[in-house]
């Protein structure tokens, strides 16, 4: 009998005996299913947050923080410093001649998640009027833009999907009273996990006179080195320049899955993003399922191969 026929014969006998060992077989199948499900979930979580963060960055955008600060919540930039940064070379100019630079302030608010009611932090970001030129991916899709000087907010689409109390017309309790949600925006990236408002109004409400960061749109990606050199060699400044302009202010820790979105958050804020189970991740799960099945059957198969044929058949 050829090797292939022997394999086919042994496989056939094993398949015929499955009803006799249905319980043990089911345990193995369920175990492998659970392992693969957890693996695909973790990979989906990681891939989704990385994609959301990468999409929030651009090679021609840069973030400036106080030297030594690795997050916006730990950074302070005075008004004069923000103006010096906006005057640096390499920054793109708006039609009116103003620098494409926004000095932002970040804080947070605690809101309940729709899934289970647990309270989490959401970033509230005060932005300058120039933010439209610096972050062109942000697009208003519902309601209207906040009015400078008024306690009004616009909410990211992902944040609204994940957290309660963020519909247009709702009011959010911030420092100094309640702020009205007047619009919804989308950006296609992690920027959708925030509340945006006028930076001057936010600074006034929180009685602050310093910004958290300055984000600029460069003339091109090649302008970054000249921009960085101008700031880091200026004796009046003590700043670090972060390239690609990602979400410099959000430290990722802790995760919870919730339907089609998930959120990650710390005391500063959270990120809500779409979960995407890609075909590549499903292939990875299938490969692992096959690998686990092969490894699980390898040692019993070696043991059976060493037994006499009659003894092996009786054990099937």
Average pLDDT, the chain: 76
Does the pLDDT at position 43 exceed 50?
yes
Domain chopping of the chain, boundaries: 52-274, 278-316
For 130-134, what is the mean pLDDT? 90
Banded pLDDT at 36 (limits 50, 70, 90): low
Banded pLDDT at 154 (limits 50, 70, 90): very high
Q: Where are the alpha helices (DSSP H) in the chain?
A: 3-16, 22-55, 79-86, 131-134, 157-162, 199-205, 224-232, 279-306, 309-315
User: How far is it, in rounded angstroms, from Cα 124 to Cα 128?
Assistant: 13
User: How far is it, in rounded angstroms, from Cα 100 to Cα 1?
Assistant: 78
Banded pLDDT at 4 (limits 50, 70, 90): low
User: How far is it, in rounded angstroms, from Cα 100 to Cα 91?
Assistant: 7
Start-to-end CA distance of the chain, whole Å, equals 20
CA 114 to chain centre: 18
Position with higher pLDDT, 230 vs 188: 230
**Strand 270-274 to 261-265 pairing:** antiparallel
Helix (H, G, I), strand (E, B) or coil at 169: coil
Find out whether 173 and 102 touch, Cβ atoms under 8 Å. Answer: no
Find out whether 191 and 156 touch, Cβ atoms under 8 Å. Answer: yes
User: How far is it, in rounded angstroms, from Cα 91 to Cα 122?
Assistant: 30
Q: What share of the chain is helix, strand, coil (3-state, %, to 5)?
A: 40, 30, 30
Closest by alpha carbon to 91, among 198, 12, 307, 83?
83
Helix (H, G, I), strand (E, B) or coil at 234: coil
Neighbours of 201 (CB within 10 A): 20
Using the structure block, give the residue that is written with the tokens 């309601």. 143
Closest by alpha carbon to 224, among 98, 113, 91?
91
Structure tokens at 132: 């439209």
User: How far is it, in rounded angstroms, from Cα 74 to Cα 68?
Assistant: 9
Does the pLDDT at position 278 exceed 90?
no
Position with higher pLDDT, 1 vs 145: 145
Long-range CB pairs of 278-281 (<8 Å, 24+ gap) are 278/44, 278/47, 281/40, 281/43, 281/44, 281/47
> pTM of whole model > 0.75?
no
Find out whether 208 and 155 touch, Cβ atoms under 8 Å. Answer: no
Got the DSSP string for 3-48?
HHHHHHHHHHHHHHTGGGGHHHHHHHHHHHHHHHHHHHHHHHHHHH
CA 65 to chain centre: 21
Find out whether 127 and 156 touch, Cβ atoms under 8 Å. Answer: no
For the segment 55-103, what is each residue's pLDDT rounded down to a tens digit? 445 678 888 888 888 778 888 899 999 999 999 999 999 888 889 999 9
Does the pLDDT at position 263 exceed 70?
no
Give the model's pLDDT for residue 172: 94
User: How far is it, in rounded angstroms, from Cα 276 to Cα 47?
Assistant: 8
Spatial strand order in the sheet of 270-274:
255-258, 261-265, 270-274
């Amino acid at each position: 009998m050829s090797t292939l026929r022997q394999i086919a014969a042994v496989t056939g006998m094993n398949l015929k005996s499955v009803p006799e060992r249905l319980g043990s077989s089911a345990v193995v199948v369920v175990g492998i299913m659970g392992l693969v499900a957890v693996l695909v979930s973790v990979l989906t979580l990681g891939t989704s947050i990385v994609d959301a963060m990468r999409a929030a960055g651009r090679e021609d955008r840069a973030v400036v923080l106080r030297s030594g600060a690795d997050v916006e919540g730990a950074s302070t930039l005075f008004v004069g410093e923000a103006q010096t940064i906006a005057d640096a070379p390499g920054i793109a100019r708006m039609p009116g001649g103003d620098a494409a630079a926004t000095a932002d302030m970040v804080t947070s608010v605690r809101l309940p998640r729709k899934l289970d009611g647990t309270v989490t932090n959401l970033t509230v970001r005060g932005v300058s009027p120039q933010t439209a030129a610096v972050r062109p991916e942000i697009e208003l899709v519902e309601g209207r833009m906040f009015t400078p000087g008024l306690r009004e907010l616009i909410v990211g689409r992902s944040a609204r999907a994940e957290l309660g109390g963020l519909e247009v017309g709702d009011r959010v309790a911030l420092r100094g009273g309640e702020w009205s949600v007047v619009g919804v925006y989308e950006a296609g990236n992690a920027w959708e996990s925030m509340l945006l408002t006028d930076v001057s109004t936010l600074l006034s409400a929180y009685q602050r006179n310093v910004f958290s960061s300055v984000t600029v749109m460069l003339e091109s990606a090649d302008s970054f080195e000249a921009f960085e050199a101008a700031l880091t060699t200026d004796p009046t400044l003590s700043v670090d320049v972060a390239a690609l302009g990602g979400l410099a202010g959000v430290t990722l820790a802790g995760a919870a899955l919730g339907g089609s979105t998930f959120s990650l958050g710390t005391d500063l804020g959270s990120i809500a993003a779409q979960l995407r189970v890609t075909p590549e991740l499903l292939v990875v799960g299938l490969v692992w399922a096959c690998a686990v099945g092969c490894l699980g059957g390898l040692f019993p198969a070696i043991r059976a191969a060493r037994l006499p044929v009659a003894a092996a058949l009786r054990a099937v």
